DNA sequence: GTCTATACCAGGATAGAC
DNA sequence: GTCTATCCTGGTATAGAC
């Protein structure tokens, strides 16, 4: 369909490498990361965050000890503590970086579109594609939200509601133009969000069944549009 | 619609009180629970499981200490350990009981139905209704699955796949009869499951928005049927 | 059956040498 | 910037009195 993305080209465009993300994270957290040289900091942050994501996805944040993290990342306990102030602080670093990237990716993608139907397609595809690339990040963020310290917890909930609102607003705009049927937009937004989240929460299931992100995306879009789009 | 349940009557029929559940749990776990008298055991199990569910939902299983649990339940540490052998064992108790009840509830409900469309409606309603009553149980089970010890982890995944398969089989039966359109049943089953799970995972959101389980159920059914059901 | 007191260990965090 | 050695809290689990 017109304006549709494919995962392969999306991936190329967005340049979401771990290295780029860690560089950005370093520049935005000079107070927390007590290292001076950028190259050293970035190199080790990559090691630390990769290790942390692996371990957290395997056993959960609370059950990951910093000794585990030290072993997995190859850095000593002492060295770890020059990159973050406490275990909670590490969670904050991980969390904040993920949030920023997602919102930017989605807004970049839907920015160009005008027609509600295309806009909705792009929002959904962008969400699925980002979460495909950064799956461990999303998984962690979803699973650990309730364990976040107060402030982070609030931000995580806001982010969830923000992307949901984005969907709802597109639906409403389309309804006003008569492109979409007058369906409860709040509920539809909620269940779309649920379907998007299922993609990164049940990765094991979908990859076992050989469902690619493009296939899943096509299915979800078809499902939603056949319910929502008015006949021409 | 014909054969539809309402939550109020479902709740009355199924008798899913904490007391009944704990009694059953006690009778099935005489090896693990080192108490002789049924009445005492049931009374305290109710206290323990309620406290455990509250704490786990608030901070997660790993972060709940047994000292917390002792305080919240009103029993001493020593007493707690006569009801389960270890912290992991407590998780197993909680988990196994939930699983049994859900499957029984769903199978009871769809047992009577013949027509695929009614059967699908009943399966979805039963799932939503049970999870409405036992929300903390479902939430815990979903969130902690990956932390379960090997054997329990396997069972949790099997249970997820089992209820999903149940949906998929109903869809396929309907397709063979020509009642449903030839849609990818595996993918549809997966996203239906995702919508059902969203109901107990995001309870805060739905109750804030004053969406009742009957309303959610009606919406989801409408969404699915308008995609799936062939025109008459 | 239930409690209190305690053993014992793993975890987060840091000091100070290099 | 990084490492090793160590501190100390708070966790699970149990012994033994009542």
Instruction: Supply the DSSP symbol for A231.
Output: P
Q: What is the mean pLDDT of residues A42-47?
A: 98
Distances (CA, A) of B62 to A60, A150, A156, B213: 9, 18, 21, 30
Distances (CA, A) of B41 to B33, B49, B94: 8, 12, 15
Q: Is the pLDDT at B214 greater than 80, yes or no?
A: yes
Among B152, B62, B146, smallest CA distance to A59 is for: B146
pLDDT, position A174: 98
Max avg pLDDT among A1-10, B94-103, B137-146, B209-218: B209-218
Distance from CA of A51 to the nearest CA of B (A): 18
Residue pair A109/A155 in contact (Cβ under 8 Å)? The answer is no
Rounded Cα gap, residues B11 and B8, in angstroms: 5
Query: Looking at chain A, how many residues does it have?
Result: 232
Distance from CA of B132 to the nearest CA of A (A): 17
pLDDT, position B91: 94
Instruction: Output the DSSP codes for A104-163.
Output: HHHHHHHHT--SHHHHHHHHHHHHHHHHHHTHHHHHHHHHHGGGS-HHHHHHHHHHHHHH
* Nucleotide showing the shortest C1' distance to residue A77 CA: D3
Predicted TM-score (pTM) of this structure:
0.96
**Confidence band, pLDDT 50/70/90 cuts, at residue B183:** very high
Q: Which residues of B touch A (CB under 8 A)?
A: 57-60, 62-63, 143, 146-147, 161, 184, 186-188, 190-191, 193-195, 197-198, 202, 205-206, 209, 211, 216, 219-220, 223, 226-227
A82 touches strand C (CB under 7 A): no
**3-state secondary structure (DSSP) of residue B75:** coil
pLDDT, position A96: 83
pLDDT, position A220: 98
B66 touches strand D (CB under 7 A): yes
What are A141-180's pLDDT values in tens digits? 999 988 888 888 899 999 999 999 999 999 999 999 999 9
Give the closest of A146, A186, A194 to B194, CB-based. A194
Residue pair B35/B41 in contact (Cβ under 8 Å)? The answer is yes
Chain A residues whose beta carbon lies within 8 Å of the beta carbon of residue B194: 194-195, 197-198, 202
Average pLDDT value over all residues in chain A: 94
**3-state secondary structure (DSSP) of residue B62:** coil
Q: Is the Cβ pair B190, A184 closer than 8 Å? A: no
Among A216, A223, A173, A116, smallest CA distance to B222 is for: A223
**Confidence band, pLDDT 50/70/90 cuts, at residue A65:** very high
Rounded Cα gap, residues B71 and B139, in angstroms: 22
**Residue A229 β-bridge partners:** A180
Max avg pLDDT among A110-124, A133-147, A170-184: A170-184
pLDDT, position B147: 83
Rounded Cα gap, residues B6 and B49, in angstroms: 28
Region class of A20: left (phi > 0), else alpha (psi between -120 and 50), else beta = alpha
pLDDT, position B114: 87
Residues 70-89 of A with CB under 7 A from strand D: 75-79, 82
Q: Is the pLDDT at B101 greater than 80, yes or no?
A: yes
Which residue is it, tokens 């109710």? B46
- Packing angle between helix B18-28 and helix B38-59, nearest 10 degrees? 110
Q: What is the mean pLDDT of residues A124-143?
A: 96
Question: How wide is the angle at C-alpha A216 spanned by C-alphas A210 and A218, nearest 5°?
Answer: 130
B69 touches strand C (CB under 7 A): no
pLDDT, position A181: 98
Give the closest of A63, A190, A216 to B62, CB-based. A63
What are A194-220's pLDDT values in tens digits? 999 999 999 999 999 999 999 999 999
Instruction: Tell me the CATH number of domain A7-228, given options 1.10.540.10, 1.10.357.10, 1.10.3720.10, 1.10.8.50.
Output: 1.10.357.10
Question: How wide is the angle at C-alpha A213 spanned by C-alphas A207 and A219, nearest 5°?
Answer: 105
Domain ranges of chain B: 7-228
Which is it for the CA torsion A51, A53, A58, A64, positive or negative?
positive
Distance from CA of A199 to the nearest CA of B (A): 9
Rounded Cα gap, residues A4 and A118, in angstroms: 8
Structure token pair of residue B106: 């769903």
A44 touches strand D (CB under 7 A): yes
Q: Is the pLDDT at B221 greater than 90, yes or no?
A: yes
Chain C nucleotides covered by protein, CB below 7 Å = 1-6, 10-16
Q: Is the Cβ pair A184, B223 closer than 8 Å? A: no
Q: What are phi and psi of A22, to 5 degrees?
A: -70, -35
pLDDT, position A25: 95
Give the closest of A62, A193, A216 to B60, CB-based. A62
pLDDT, position B169: 98
Distances (CA, A) of B21 to A93, B56, B96, B98: 42, 19, 11, 9
Among A193, A141, A126, smallest CA distance to B194 is for: A193
Q: Is the pLDDT at B3 greater than 80, yes or no?
A: no
- Residue A157 burial by CB count (10 A; 0-12/13-18/19+): exposed, middle or buried? middle
Average pLDDT value over all residues in chain B: 94
pLDDT, position B100: 87
Q: Is the Cβ pair A59, B205 closer than 8 Å? A: no
Rounded Cα gap, residues A137 and A52, in angstroms: 10
Give the closest of B62, B223, B227 to A62, CB-based. B62
Among B148, B138, B127, B153, smallest CA distance to B213 is for: B127
Share of chain B above pLDDT 90, in %: 84
Q: Is the pLDDT at B5 greater than 80, yes or no?
A: no
Q: Is the pLDDT at A5 greater than 80, yes or no?
A: no
Give the closest of A187, A206, A219 to B184, CB-based. A219
pLDDT, position A114: 87
**3-state secondary structure (DSSP) of residue A30:** coil
Mutate: best of A57, A171, A190, A220, partner B, most B CBs <10 A: A190
Instruction: Supply the DSSP symbol for B231.
Output: P
Chain B residues whose beta carbon lies within 8 Å of the beta carbon of residue A211: 187
Q: Is the pLDDT at B125 greater than 90, yes or no?
A: yes
Region class of B183: left (phi > 0), else alpha (psi between -120 and 50), else beta = beta
Region class of B8: left (phi > 0), else alpha (psi between -120 and 50), else beta = alpha
Interacting residues of A66 by C-beta distance below 8 A, sequence separation 6+: A77, A80, A87
Segment (H or E) for A91: helix A87-111
Share of chain A above pLDDT 70, in %: 99
Q: Is the Cβ pair B60, A227 closer than 8 Å? A: no
What are B63-95's pLDDT values in tens digits? 999 999 999 999 999 999 999 999 999 999 999
What are B21-64's pLDDT values in tens digits? 999 999 999 989 999 999 999 999 999 999 999 999 999 999 99
pLDDT, position A214: 98
Q: Is the pLDDT at A74 greater than 80, yes or no?
A: yes
Instruction: Supply the DSSP symbol for B145.
Output: G
Structure token pair of residue A54: 């692996």
């Amino acid at each position: 369909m017109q304006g549709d993305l494919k995962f392969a080209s999306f991936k190329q465009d967005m340049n979401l490498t771990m290295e780029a993300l860690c560089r950005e994270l370093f520049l935005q957290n000079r107070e927390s990361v007590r290292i001076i040289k950028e190259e050293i900091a970035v190199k080790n942050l990559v090691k630390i965050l990769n290790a942390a994501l692996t371990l957290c996805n395997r056993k959960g944040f609370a059950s990951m000890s910093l000794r585990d993290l030290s072993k997995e990342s190859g850095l000593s306990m002492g060295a770890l503590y020059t990159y973050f102030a406490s275990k909670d602080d590490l969670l904050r670093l991980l969390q904040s970086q993920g949030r920023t990237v997602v919102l930017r990716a989605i807004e970049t993608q839907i920015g160009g579109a005008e027609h509600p139907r295309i806009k909705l397609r792009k929002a959904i595809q962008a969400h699925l594609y980002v979460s495909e690339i950064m799956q461990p990040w999303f998984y962690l963020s979803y699973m650990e939200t309730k364990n976040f310290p107060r402030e982070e917890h609030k931000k995580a909930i806001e982010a969830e509601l923000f992307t949901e609102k984005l969907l709802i607003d597109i639906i409403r705009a389309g309804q006003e133009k008569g492109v979409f049927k007058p369906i409860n937009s709040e509920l539809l937004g909620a269940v779309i969000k649920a379907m998007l989240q299922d993609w990164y929460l049940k990765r094991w299931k979908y990859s076992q069944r050989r469902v690619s992100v493009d296939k899943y995306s096509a299915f979800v879009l078809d499902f939603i549009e056949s319910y929502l789009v008015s006949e021409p």
